[in-house]
Amino acid sequence: MGKIRSIFFEYNEEDEHFDFGTFSLCMYYAAKLNPSKAKKLFEATISEWKYRVEYELPLENLESKNREVHFIPSEVQDSIIFLENDLIPALNNETQDLLKQYGGKSSFINMYYSSVDFLKFNGIDENEYFDGNGENLAHYMNRLKIALQYSLTVNQPLIVYVN
């Protein structure tokens, strides 16, 4: 097994990080819950550079090393509301491991790539670590919500990177 990747969100001299596979599992679940709200949430977690590349928008002066997230305050607020009112409660209500519900790692990865297009922006593979426990996932999404709330309060984008 290769190195396990994580996605990091930095703010206020702190960082939140999640196993990349686990984060992808949360985004997939969110997309099944509400694709349009999940898309806003997903976009609030990718860099502005990646956002522009994926949507074929002008890069202006951005380069691949740009790590500030795509930041539209109204969409960040919508994402926080989605997390708080929909995604976190739904995850807390899950009684069976999500990865098992989706038929295991390989099956989940196939489902991930055949779902909504925006998820394909973050490529995942068999080497990722996945935590499918609903309560754990709800806890991770609450931590993301706190980071997004801070970003909104100070009107400054988070810094994001995968390592």
- For residue 1, pLDDT beyond 60: no
Beta carbons of 129 and 7 less than 8 angstroms apart: no
pLDDT given at position 131:
96
Q: What is the pTM of this model?
A: 0.94
List residues bridging with 10 in a β-sheet.
Answer: 15, 159
Contact 37, 82 (CB under 8 A): yes
pLDDT in tens, 91-110: 999 999 999 999 999 999 99
**pLDDT digits 0-9 by tens, 132-163:** 999 999 999 999 999 999 999 999 999 999 99
- Give φ, ψ of 102 to 5 degrees: -90, 5
